[in-house]
Amino acid sequence: MVLCRESSESGGRWVHGPDDPLAQAQDFISENDDAECGLIIVWQAGLGYAPRLLEQMDQNKRVIICESRYELIWEWLCRWDCDAILNHERFYWIIQDDFEHKLMQLAREYPSLFKQGFKIIPGSVLTGMEKDRLKDVSDRIQSSLTKTNSDDLHKVFMIMSQSLEDIMPSVMRGAGQNGFHPLWKKRPLALSRFLSGINVWRETCGCTPEIALGFYGSYFSHEELKSMGRAGTSRVVWYYDNPETLFKGDEGEYYDLALTFDTGHLDVMKPVFGSKAKVLAPATTFDDYEVQGDFKYPINPVTYVGATGYRLSLPYLKQNPQLFTKLAQVIRTVVQSHLGMDAKELLNLLIQSTLQFDPQQSAHFKWLVRQISSSEIRKVFLETAMPFGLTIFGDALWRDRNLVGGLTSAYAGTSLHYDSETPELYAASSINLSICHTQLIHAASLRAYDVLACGGFLLTEYRPAIEEQFEIGKDLDVFRTPQELAQKITFYLENEELRREIAAHGRATVLANHTYRNRIAQMIELLKDPR
């Protein structure tokens, strides 16, 4: 049994009674027992006696654990097995200095949670002043429940996920340009779990949105998504990555439109979403960037901004160094011999060539092959660009000679803040390279749109969507093989005026056709099309 006494200016006091703190916690609970109460708030939980009893006693009530003394929570977590409380959906933790403010905010945003009936009980011994404060908070919560949320917003476009925070300002700007009132409502995953079974999506939204968009999915439960649909909200999910690894396969009935950025992913999407699966290309996030005349960056002949691609596969490398080396060698041999092949055919060849390492071809292994393949393709093209004054900006793994070989000498030694620093770098570089991940079967890379929006000249690995959306040789140029890349770098470094002309035309094309203003408008049209 753990006892605890804390010192204070008045001399000190027991946090939990010295005789039997467990019995004391039982008394706190019994004094406030109410069968109709659906929520118990443990005020200053201390060493967790009351929450532990509540976990054992009642399987129906939700419990909010409040504590401002971090050292007591640490003691609690170190001394006892707390998995049942940490991982249980009935428990929600507010561990911060101003937990009272957070509790009041929760009551304002999710009154249905409190309207089931609530009780605030002490989790440790309180002074008279603290008891008065507890009662005051209880009264203020009760008072706030009499106020009703207004649903007076009209034509609302709401983001219902927390992914891709870097593109959200552009998405919301695009929604506003299409006549919507854009909202981005965040709900922590822990809170979503705690609220499961309570239909509170309107409280999260503050209204009934006309369109609700989630990237990769939503923090709303399936029950809430169904309710949103019944209320007239168009529910959209947009997979900004290979959807094969992103959904479980039961999402089809919860969305009105499911988007992928690449036509090559529709064969995975169609079995889940049917005719609701459609393609919507990415867009630039730099539609508001103004090109300046004076650059703080030196004008690099050839610039590449991007990661090595090894970060996600690094754990496998460390656990299986010899196998990783053999696998990378096989992949590099295939890449060097077949670059320029159709992207889907190349990916299939890579997977077939690595069967010896995983005959079952598990989903995780295929993902690993895609990751390593993308890194090897990147290295082959960048090695080709090295003699032309290549500078690489990206993660610190570019320093690792075991991973990237001689490319370490091209590394600028830093990554850049993408939103605030890369636009100027793109504009200042003579040639910007874009190299596609193997998951891009048909689509252009996100970086292609951003480089062009910043007025940079772009030389990108070919994908069919580039030819559909741009004029090659007029907006940008492409390469398929290392030999073609070397030829075009040589040509464009010698033709500065043409380079500038192409960059200016490419910028105008992107700003006219490939912003989130365009994409939201296209999304609306796709929602109208039932086919």
Cα separation, 413 vs 98, whole angstroms: 41
Sign of the CA dihedral running 472, 476, 478, 483: positive
Q: Which two tokens stand for residue 62?
A: 């939700």
164, pLDDT greater than 70: yes
Helices (H) and strands (E) counted in the chain, each on its own, are: 23, 17
Sign of the CA dihedral running 349, 353, 359, 365: negative
291, pLDDT greater than 80: no
Whether residue 67 contacts residue 96, with contact meaning beta carbons closer than 8 Å, is answered with: no
For 96-113, how does the pLDDT look when each residue is reduced to its tens digit (9 = 90+)? 988 999 999 888 888 888
What is the value of pTM for the model shown? 0.82
Cα separation, 472 vs 459, whole angstroms: 10
Q: What proportion of the chain, given as a percentage, has pLDDT over 90?
A: 49
* Nearest residue to 194 (alpha-carbon basis) of 295, 110, 69: 110
pLDDT value for 244: 76
pLDDT value for 2: 53
**3.40.50.2000, 3.20.20.70, 3.20.20.60, 3.30.1490.20: CATH of 302-514:** 3.40.50.2000
Arithmetic mean of pLDDT over the chain: 88
Whether residue 425 contacts residue 299, with contact meaning beta carbons closer than 8 Å, is answered with: no
* Nearest residue to 263 (alpha-carbon basis) of 437, 436, 435, 439: 439
Sequence-separated contacts (24+) of 397-405 with Cβ below 8 Å: 397/307, 397/308, 397/310, 397/311, 397/314, 398/308, 400/308, 400/310, 403/308, 403/310, 403/375, 404/308, 404/379, 405/379
433 or 35, which is more confident = 433
**CA 203 to centroid of chain Cα atoms:** 23
pLDDT value for 190: 84
200, pLDDT greater than 90: no
Torsion of CA 53, 59, 64, 68, to 10 degrees: 20
For 370-405, how does the pLDDT look when each residue is reduced to its tens digit (9 = 90+)? 999 999 999 999 999 999 999 999 999 999 998 999
Confidence of residue 153 (pLDDT cuts 50, 70, 90): low
Least confident range of 23-32, 257-266, 303-312: 23-32
* Nearest residue to 262 (alpha-carbon basis) of 31, 439, 45, 123: 439
Q: What homologous superfamily does CATH list for 5-144?
A: Vaccinia Virus protein VP39 (3.40.50.150)
Confidence of residue 492 (pLDDT cuts 50, 70, 90): very high
The full DSSP string for 494-513 is: T-HHHHHHHHHHHHHHHHHH
Q: Which two tokens stand for residue 56?
A: 């054992």
Sign of the CA dihedral running 75, 78, 81, 84: positive
Cα within 13 Å of Cα(475), Cβ side: 24
pLDDT value for 459: 98
pLDDT value for 279: 96
* Nearest residue to 25 (alpha-carbon basis) of 45, 39, 2: 45
311-331 average pLDDT score:
86
Q: Which two tokens stand for residue 375?
A: 């890194």
* 5-144 against 302-514: fold identical: yes
**Largest pairwise CA distance in the chain:** 87
471, pLDDT greater than 90: yes
For 397-426, how does the pLDDT look when each residue is reduced to its tens digit (9 = 90+)? 999 998 999 999 999 998 888 888 899 999
pLDDT value for 1: 46
Domain boundaries, the chain: 5-144, 156-283+520-528, 302-514
The full DSSP string for 94-148 is: EESTTHHHHHHHHHHH-HHHHHT-EEEEESS---HHHHHHHHHHHHHHHHHTTS-
301, pLDDT greater than 90: yes
Check: CATH 1.10.3210 for 156-283+520-528? Answer: no
The letter for the amino acid at 63 is V
The letter for the amino acid at 150 is S
| β-bridge pairing 13-14 and 431-434 | unpaired
**CA 301 to centroid of chain Cα atoms:** 33
Q: What proportion of the chain, given as a percentage, has pLDDT over 70?
A: 93
